[in-house]
Amino acid sequence: MKGNLKSYPMNFGYRMPAEWEKHAATWLTWPHNVETWPDILTSVEKEMVSIVAALSKSEIVRVNVLNQAHEEHVFDLLHNRVVPGTIIFHQLPTNDSWCRDYGAIFLTRDDYEEPIASLNFQYNAWGGKYLPYNLDQGVAGFMAKILLVPEFVSEMYLEGGAVDVNGVGALITTEECLLQRNPEISCIQIEQRLKNAFGVTQVIWLGKGLEGDDTDGHVDQLARFVSQNRVVISSEKNTKDFNYIPLMQNRERLMNARLPDGGSIEIVELPMPDPVYYQNRRLPASYANFYIANKLVLVPAFGCPQDTAAREIISECFVDRDVISVDCRSILVGLGAVHCLTQQVPWTG
């Protein structure tokens, strides 16, 4: 089946599974853009090695690289650090490394012949902020072809980090991001398109994102489902901090929201890290940018006391997984962290 979002995935029984549901693999793009990480790409690669080494203990890791020479370089970095046989390389040229945002978003359904499909939204580097992005625009389609799965193509602009789901009908996103990305479409129209695409019945709208976030408020920096009715949210206690009011307002929206079954959402607060700056610019550091793998959860660390508290809070939400802090201080200079770099491929066995 080859379709577009006019033949809605929801109509074929597809849904986006929650991130904690079983994965067949994690897909990522190896960092390579020196403009994203000026003078610190070597440090970024060291952090990436630690992330991939941890993931390899949990599942297969598919890695996009530029070419044969780049594959050999990355192979040398990972040699003796990963579980043998867990890394699959794809020579797939990219402009940058944020696979969560430009990569395919995978859906599942109860169907023996076509249990998995991909969503391919329009991508313009977060509103045309960074040129070029032509190579990144083709990644989602290539991922679908590599896995030989049906692809639904949308005319709407959306990045993977802009949405989060609980797997049973609810999706969280932000007005700041999706309304800016699609100014010609009303909020009501966007909501219906989200329902049709992701197989959900309830869209929960938050407001604004973090200071310094070039994504215009991606929800994976703000609020994440950790179970069907529980959400962890970023919370700032310093009333003088720029993020205090927007995060408080997002919390109030979640408190008033209802799930498809009419139930309320259990809210768990995550502390914000100390403000992080690079070249006098505040970076969007957030512990909500964690990634849930099959056997573990990777939580970004920023070298401040709140690292431990955040890991402990997330550990209480995932008692069946090891929760590991991964240093993301260099990666953060590129304005993202571990969740921005990764994309889950659902298990369909």
| Active-site annotation, residues | 340
CA distance 229 to 247: 20
- Output phi, psi for 249, to 5 deg: -65, -40
Please calculate the CA angle 119-123-129 and round it to the nearest 5 degrees. 155
Let me know how long the chain is: 349
Residue 128 in tokens? 């045309």
- Identity at 193, one-letter amino acid code: R
Residue 77, both tokens: 């970095």
E-assigned strand segments in 281-347 = 281-283, 291-292, 296-301, 322-327, 342-346
φ/ψ of residue 151, rounded to 5: -125, 130
Nearest to 99 by CA among 26, 17, 29: 29
Residue 209 CA to residue 230 CA, distance in Å, equals: 20
Contact between 340 and 101 (Cβ < 8 Å): yes
Residue 314 to residue 325: CA distance in whole angstroms: 10
Whole-number CA gyration radius for the chain = 19
Is 250 strand, coil or helix? helix
Residue 205's Cβ-side half-sphere holds a number of Cα atoms within 13 Å equal to 13
Q: How far is CA 83 from CA 29, 60, 140, in A?
A: 19, 9, 27
What is the DSSP-derived secondary structure letter of residue 239? Answer: T
Burial (0-12, 13-18, 19+ Cβ within 10 Å), 21: middle
